Structure 1
Amino acid sequence: MKPLEFRDTEIRGRKHPTIDQVQIINNQTNFPISWLNTQGYCEYSLYLENFQHIKVKANKAMLRGTKVHNKLEENFKKDAVVKPLDEIISTSKTQEVLSREFFVMSESYGIRGYIDEIWLTPDSIVIIDDKPGSRAYYSMIHQVYAYCLAYKDSIGDDRKIEGALRTRGTDNIFWRHEFDEKAGNEIIDLIEHVQNLIAGEDDFIPTTNPNKCRACRFNNACPNAQ
């Protein structure tokens, strides 16, 4: 695949006055797509980190993941050519294109994020999110579906879109599924719930899984810890 890099990541909005990581773009609250992975693990941790502004150190797994991620990005940039988005899309209609850290944002759904890796071919788009391990949890699936939705909504591409999960630092794709109507409706409903959390219309529900609590960075600060 031809490695092409897209760098236009300017966010044309303003920071939310009270909630970390949330932007207001054209009067619509816009949150990071990575929130959906956190929400599926325990949405109360979103509340502690971004609404209560509780700061805790990154754990070893997060630091290790960041290190591997940065190395992959560094290796990609050695051969990648920077191109504007329209040229990347045009090129991919006739030949396979590979890009990393591909920024997508949907103003209408209020989501944004960086796709770890995207394969653009004349027939289909494959959106890949790198994760530790090789088990596809719903939280991970929701995150990659949101990338698919943001890509489709912002680019308007009519090619088949697939979401995929890959073991970080390897070529092992352990889950792959077409982003179909059912997947779209599922992720739109979840995004609406998170938007309602931001608006104060839904309550944050903590996990009831004690194993998640023990592994959570916010364990000592959480009143719901098991």
Structure 2
Amino acid sequence: MKTFTFILATASMAIALGITPPASADEQFAIDGCIERLRAVGGPDAQAGGEVLSSEFSEAGTLVMLRDGGGTVWRCIGYNDGSVGELTVAEGAEDGGGAMAGAASEPATSSARVRFDAGASGAELTGTLSPGGSARYVLGAKDGQNLYVRVATGDAGVSYQIFNPDGTFLLEQMTPDREYRGQLWQSGDHVVEVINRGGGTAAYNVIFGID
């Protein structure tokens, strides 16, 4: 199986240097996007590096399987523009005691890019979260646009927060009874993270709008 370490040059770097990338350019951009998203949301194990286990290219989205520095295997759907549609844990790392690392101390975090239908300025998604789990929704937006976020749930343990493209808080942790509406001051990918801090599985709807 052909593998690539996280320290490989990105496709754009390889092209600039005249080096042939290890995959087609479109496929490599998808791989690079998955690596960067894992570094952003995967915690210390992802920051420590890892490897690309496999990639299956298609025009609809490239399936990339990654293993982080702690041994956890991630499943990612990447696109040829470097964006990521989905990032989820496929296989937790063995902790040495017969249990999977992350089963209790590191609850699952998923990541998905929000895409609006043609002509629409909003979208609504549904999800469920295990205790301690979170879901990160990535929205591309520009400085000066207005963002609207509303989380609807019957579970008291659910909260949400919003990050600017530079990783700073646009909105610190907020309860779902309060919606967010405000003007953005950075251009790039904004992240809305829905978190379940309760003791049971939580279902929710999240509504996004950008104008």
Q: Which TM class, normalised by the smaller chain length?
A: under 0.3
| TM-score relative to the length of structure 1 | 0.23
| TM-score relative to the length of structure 2 | 0.24
Relative contact order (C-alpha < 8 Å, sep 6+): which is higher? 1
More strand by share: 2
